[in-house]
Amino acid sequence: MQWMKNQSRQENVIYLVVWGVLFAAPLLSLYVRSVSDQSIPFDWSEVFMVWRRFAVFLLLFLIHNFLLAPLLVHKHRRLLYFSFVAVILSAFVIYQCSSRPDRKEIMRRMPPFMEQRDSRASESSDRGPTASSERPPFAFRRHLPPPIIGERDILAVMILLLMFGANLGMKFYFRSRNDRKKLLELEKQNLEQQLVYLRYQINPHFFMNTLNNIHALVDIDPQKAQATILELSKMMRFVLYEGDKRDVSLSREMEFLRTYIHLMQLRYTDKVSINVDLPTEVPDKSIPPLLLISFIENAFKHGVSYQHESFIEVKASVEDDHLLFHCRNSKVEKSNEEKGGVGLANVKQRLDLLYDDRYTLNIDDGQDEYNVELTLPLL
């Protein structure tokens, strides 16, 4: 019964409602006629006669819905499907012809009608030898079944074809809807995998820079090195326990950035001007973790020189449920760090995955300074 499990429950409900309405229609019609006209009796045999006709169509529908339509919709076996449909149509036509009343039986019952012929038929029979008394009048011949296939047979076949077509259309609709759901689910899983990959790229690069700072401070100032280790433990706690989450509170992210910048300040002399303006009181909003640290890392990596005066400015503010982040730094001819890291391409890719087109990122790569302005909605 796997073919029944593959069918959508909503699709089955639609079929049940449609067939329920069709089978209820003759019953309601006869009830309304019997109530409106007392001379018309409520005859169940008339309802059963219509239901027998409907039952044939229902049986063919079930065969097509559960056996034939999956061949075309799911297995794409067109030749086999159309072959079976042709067999069913042929069998249906044979059934229609075999269940039709016999012409000879109707002709045998003709005498009572002949006795009640209208005067017009009598007059036409007396005019000449062309009107044979043994031939039924035209009014009677209209009610005789056709020799082979009549209008009702053709209409029944057309209804059957339309029923099969509607069934196929419904199945293709639900198939395409399920395919879209699967595609969205795959895209979501791919998005999550890419975000995890990007976060794992950020974390080793971040710790590499931090450990380089501690290594430098051990020889310069051991006490500062100890303080740096404490700061690093706080940052590691944030990265380990918050970095894998989908989002963190904005206040925790701001605290993490302040800790990182303070750790970096311990390494540099007064020749490096570092100005930080991060809000201490922020609304209860969320932001993806470790999203802004790459811009600040990039500023320290490419904007600081031990020989010349340099600067770094980091600002952030909240306006209308949007975070406005600004990072500006001087540019040096040669970076004071080794090449590597995730780079801005990684950050842009992560922003695209997280926010699509709901963020703005402006980067001004000038001759003497590098300026980043980022605006993104808070969660």
Bridging pattern class, strands 360-365 and 369-377: antiparallel
Tokens at 329, concatenated: 């730094």
Mean pLDDT of all residues in 241-256: 81
Q: Any residues with CB less than 8 A from the CB of 267 and at least 6 apart, and which?
A: 213, 216, 217, 220
Mapped onto helix, strand or coil, the DSSP state of residue 273 is strand
CB 331 within 8 A of CB 369: yes
Indicate the range of 89-103, 272-286, 326-340 predicted with least confidence: 326-340
pLDDT of residue 1: 45
Is the pLDDT score of 84 beyond 80? yes
Mean pLDDT of all residues in 215-232: 79
Mean pLDDT of all residues in 322-329: 94
Answer with the residue of higher pLDDT: 151 or 290.
Answer: 290
pLDDT of residue 248: 85
Report CA-CA distances (Å) from 14 to 19, 50, 51, 115. 9, 22, 20, 53
pLDDT of residue 147: 54
Answer with the residue of higher pLDDT: 223 or 273.
Answer: 273
Answer with the residue of higher pLDDT: 26 or 143.
Answer: 26
Is the pLDDT score of 124 beyond 80? no
Buried b (16+ CB within 10 A) or exposed e, 61-73: beebbeebbbbbb
Q: Give the whole-number percent of the chain exceeding pLDDT 70.
A: 74
pLDDT of residue 149: 59
Mapped onto helix, strand or coil, the DSSP state of residue 20 is helix
Under the banding of pLDDT at 50, 70 and 90, the label for residue 38 is: confident
Mean pLDDT, all residues of the chain: 77
Burial class from Cβ neighbours inside 10 Å (0-12, 13-18, 19+) for residue 202 reads buried
Is the pLDDT score of 305 beyond 60? yes
pLDDT of residue 223: 81
Mean pLDDT of all residues in 138-153: 55
Is the pLDDT score of 340 beyond 60? no
Q: How many CB atoms lie within 10 A of CB 288?
A: 21
Answer with the residue of higher pLDDT: 306 or 155.
Answer: 155
Q: How far apart are CA 115 and CA 108, in angstroms?
A: 14
Indicate the range of 125-134, 163-172, 313-322 predicted with least confidence: 125-134
pLDDT of residue 205: 59
Is the pLDDT score of 164 beyond 80? yes
Q: What is the pLDDT of residues 227-244, one digit of tens each?
A: 778 877 877 777 767 766
Mean pLDDT of all residues in 55-81: 90
Report CA-CA distances (Å) from 57 to 16, 160, 257, 326, 359. 14, 7, 71, 70, 57
Q: Could you say which DSSP state residue 356 is in?
A: T
Query: At CA 129, angle to CA 127 and CA 131, rounded to 5?
Result: 70
Indicate the range of 19-28, 124-133, 158-167 predicted with least confidence: 124-133
Q: How far apart are CA 19 and CA 249, in angstroms?
A: 54
Tokens at 263, concatenated: 């750790």
pLDDT of residue 121: 47
Is the pLDDT score of 210 beyond 80? no
Is the pLDDT score of 60 beyond 90? yes
Is the pLDDT score of 102 beyond 60? no
Under the banding of pLDDT at 50, 70 and 90, the label for residue 5 is: low
pLDDT of residue 186: 65
